[in-house]
Chains A and B, each alone.
Chain A
Amino acid sequence: MPTAFADVTASDSTLRRFLHGLPGVDAVGLEARAASLGTRSIKTTAKAYAIDLAISMIDLTTLEGADTPGKVRALGAKAVNPDPTDRGTPRTAAVCVYPDMVATAKAAVGDSGVKVASVATAFPAGRAAIDVKLGDVREAVAAGADEIDMVIDRGAFLAGDYMTVFEQIRAVKEACGTARLKVIFETGELSTYDNIRRASWIGMIAGADFIKTSTGKVGVNATPANTLLMLEAVRDFRAQTGVQIGVKPAGGIRSTKDAVKFLVLVNETAGPDWLDSHWFRFGASSLLNDLLMQRQKLATGRYSGPDYVTVD
């Protein structure tokens, strides 16, 4: 934790004062800005660059009750070699699975350089005792997870108990050891943009390596507007402390067009330093197939179809 924030986190009331002292979000302006950045036309070589970059930023995700070791292995194989017909296709950044599948995923990606991320802390609801959450994290890390995606306690956050949220993130960060920590706010449940800004700052001050929009399990997931807001937060945080933090929108990004819009947001808001899989990720599963189809279209000039990519 940057020492600059020691006084902020000294007590419940100082933290509250700090969070409520953050500038309010102009919702209309934010959405208009996100929408206007979404109108950029990205074509030809820029598009090819964006597609490859987006593929390399994907956390290829499967978080279903029905996940089997076979499905996780298939996902791992796809992450390592997304398009078997074109070996020049970049690898995805990571595969993202439940903790009990980490070992399977780790074996599947081998030494390819693809990371294994695991959701933990009683994902997706986060409604469990802190010991259970920490146990969840430790098991995932022990199984070899390179990255941990935790959920914040939205109940505590919405009740105004910011200190609990802060301390839980700190505890999880400690349990992570060398694994990078992504903190999921579940923006769809935070109701307001002001809350998303506050949650972002709690996460950043508490030592998150990434701040992440959502679990993908609720109605509203990543939107251009809430991602833009979080990108502003990491930009401001670096300006203030020199510490760079990553952003991961997750859920609901399904088309190449959407992904490219997000990349424009990154470039125009946080800056080109974030245009790297170390600092920006997409939590997605079906997005990869669309990116691959667009990539095939650019390579061959013909529109591709779902028959030419794997069924996940």
Chain B
Amino acid sequence: MSDRLTVLKTYKLYVGGKFPRSESGRVYEVNDSKGRWLANAPLASRKDARDAVVAARKAFGGWSGATAYNRGQVLYRVAEMLEGRKDQFVREVRDAEGISKSEAAAQVDAAIDRWVWYAGWTDKIAQVMGGANPVAGPFFNLSTPEPTGVVTVVAPQESSFLGLVSVLAPVIATGNTAVVIASERFPLPALSLGEVLATSDVPGGVVNILTGKTAEIAAPLAAHQDVNAIDLTGADAGLARELEVAAADNLKRVLRPQAVDFSADPGTHRLTAFLETKTVWHPTGSLGASGSAY
């Protein structure tokens, strides 16, 4: 029998690169799959949501303005850090979802692989989604995808880590900043992910992680005039409808919830969901017999 004192971890929110408690001072009990207490998680309020949006907005200029190559390096660094803390995530995922250790390990491996996969996309998405358009006139016409802005992500409720990474990584890979509402029942892996992000060169505010009652936090975010898009993956049908109505007010981009198998190849649709296409027309002068004038 060990005579060490138990060192209990105080899980905290991740907002603007810092780890605050909820502004409301509230917490809620997080239990494992058998109903045993694991930890207290912050029960975020709408003011925490507001603070998170302010932080995300502040971070947007720097993150979207960073070169795609640099963003890729930073995201790869996150994967490196995740690799180093793999055991912790395996334990947290196992406790939360009530799966075996090997199943949890497979999920965490898949999540890290996914993070690397999205890191690779940062400097490739512009070539795939943009390019020169053939137009009927003496113009050089070029389309390029740009990030939408501040994106609220309602993370999946069941897949506490692989699902979370699958919805978060594509949002920030393209230069958006994110306010994430973690799974209500399984928030601990998300809060630990915040600790990883804080130590891996991701500027503060690029990712903000809130835990608590999904409906309570999502409602003000969906109505928030300074949020540009919302991913409703973790909202049930009723809540999703309500949030989409609120989101319509300032024409937020909305990604509706759909059945997703997070273990499958994700494809690019999450990357492209939060991009805006900018097109420039540049006059080239008349195209002579010799071809291009530029």
Contact = CB atoms under 8 A, between A and B. Distances in A.
Interface string A288-312: 0000000000000111111110000
Interface in B194-229: 220, 223-227
A301 B223 contact: yes
B249 interface: yes
B240 interface: no
A303 B57 contact: no
Given A307-B225, A307-B226, A308-B225, A302 B249 contact: yes
Nearest to B220: A303
Q: Is the interface of B mostly helix, strand, loop or mixed?
A: helix
A66 to B, nearest CB: 21
B270 interface: no
Contact of B223 (A303, A306, A307, A308): A303
A302 B249 CA distance: 10
A271 B35 CA distance: 55
Contacts of B226: 303-307
- Interface size on B, as a range, is 10 to 19
Q: Is the interface of A mostly helix, strand, loop or mixed?
A: loop
Interface string B35-51: 00000000000000010
B53 interface: yes
B265 to A, nearest CB: 36
Interface in B8-62: 50, 53, 57
Interface string B96-114: 0000000000000000000
B57 A306 contact: yes
A308 B250 CA distance: 11
Interface string B152-194: 0000000000000000000000000000000000000000000
A86 to B, nearest CB: 14
A303 B50 contact: yes
Nearest to B249: A302
B223 A302 contact: yes
A302 B224 contact: yes
Interface centre among A301, A302, A307, A308 (most CB of B within 10 A): A302
B146 to A, nearest CB: 16
A305 B50 contact: no
Contacts of A301: 223
A308 B227 CA distance: 12
Nearest to A302: B223
A296 to B, nearest CB: 8
A307 B50 CA distance: 15
Interface of B: 50, 53, 57, 220, 223-227, 249
Interface of A: 301-308
4 closest residue pairs by CB, A with B? A305-B226, A302-B223, A303-B224, A305-B225
Given A303-B220, A304-B225, 5 more contacts: A302-B220, A303-B50, A306-B57, A306-B226, A307-B226
